[in-house]
């Protein structure tokens, strides 16, 4: 396992850690301010949310590269199924292709895919996962022409109804197997998988198909399953063990800190959040 105690070259910021995934949350830094703050601290990677980059992906990507910060990717593809997904198939695919285009223009390599919840009119997850597979198969072909990789991110089962019918690494890899596209893999987020005792076996199965690794923590007394994630070391997840299993599978990419925290970290000075984030990365991850 890589030693991060004196090396933060693998550290990346997902801008959700500063509240930039939610309108009106956080300190409202511009993408350029966030990039500059990362560069000042030697944080070499960044992942933006689509709402931040709007119609400026190429300019923001160029600014980051000039500052010496690598744009790893973009969050996220549209919900494909469930109550938050567009109503019509064409609208889903149009937005999916737009997200791929934005990732490419930004200069990012990876588009994170959070698939959406149980499809209206169905029960359980089987039919919804079938629809997800169809959408992703189409998108993967297009993404390949744009040199973009798609990372399916399974979410914690608590989100199964509304945000993600895809709740395990096993199911994500089953979809990857069915589609069999070189540019399709998975993203492993500590918040969503820390509980899964089958995870080490699934990571071994995944191998080079692990495209992303996200850091945060699950608080023992979480007050909001969506917006109360913990900073690394503040919760009950065994982060070093999960990272060891991810790296044993062959992953050597960025470790992306992604913390949704409306009543704690988003209320703090973003500069302090970045400093704590870097310290925890070196000491507890």
Give mean pLDDT, residues 53-73.
97
Average pLDDT, the chain: 97
Q: Read off the pLDDT band of 134 (50, 70, 90).
A: very high
Q: Read off the pLDDT band of 253 (50, 70, 90).
A: very high
Residue 93: what pLDDT? 98
Q: Global pTM?
A: 0.97
Task: Give the β-pairing of 45-49 and 11-14.
Answer: parallel
Residue 269 clears pLDDT 90, i.e. is over it = yes
Q: What is the pLDDT of residues 93-132, one digit of tens each?
A: 999 999 999 999 999 999 999 999 999 999 999 999 999 9
Say which residues have a Cβ less than 8 Å from residue 103's Cβ, sequence separation at least 6: 57, 73, 74, 109, 110, 111, 146, 148
CA distances (Å), origin 259, targets 73, 113, 147, 228: 16, 17, 28, 8
Q: Read off the pLDDT band of 27 (50, 70, 90).
A: confident
Residue 240: what pLDDT? 98
């Amino acid at each position: 396992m890589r030693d991060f105690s004196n090396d933060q070259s693998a550290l990346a910021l997902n801008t959700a850690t500063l509240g930039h995934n939610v309108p009106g949350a956080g300190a409202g830094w511009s993408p350029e301010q966030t990039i500059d703050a990362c560069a000042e601290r030697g944080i070499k990677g960044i992942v933006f949310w689509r709402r931040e980059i709007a119609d400026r992906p190429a300019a923001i990507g160029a600014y980051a590269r000039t500052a010496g910060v690598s744009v790893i990717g973009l969050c996220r593809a549209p919900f494909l199924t469930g109550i938050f997904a567009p109503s019509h198939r064409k609208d889903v695919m149009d937005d999916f292709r737009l997200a791929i285009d934005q990732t490419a223009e930004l200069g990012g390599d990876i588009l994170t895919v959070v698939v959406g919840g149980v499809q209206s009119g169905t029960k359980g997850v089987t039919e919804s996962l079938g629809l997800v597979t169809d959408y992703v198969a189409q998108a993967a072909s297009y993404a390949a022409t744009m040199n973009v990789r798609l990372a399916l991110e399974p979410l914690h089962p608590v989100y199964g109804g509304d945000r993600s019918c895809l709740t395990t690494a096993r199911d994500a890899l089953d979809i990857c197997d069915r589609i069999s596209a070189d540019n399709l893999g998975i993203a492993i987020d500590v918040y969503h998988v820390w509980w899964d005792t089958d995870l080490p076996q699934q990571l071994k199965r995944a191998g080079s198909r692990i495209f992303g690794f996200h850091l945060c923590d699950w608080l023992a007394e979480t007050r909001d399953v969506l917006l109360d994630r913990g900073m690394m070391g503040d919760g009950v997840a065994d982060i070093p063990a999960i990272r060891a299993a991810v790296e044993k599978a062959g992953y050597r990419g960025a470790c992306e800190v992604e913390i949704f925290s409306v009543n704690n970290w988003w209320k703090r000075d973003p500069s302090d959040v970045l400093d704590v984030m870097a310290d925890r990365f070196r000491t507890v991850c």
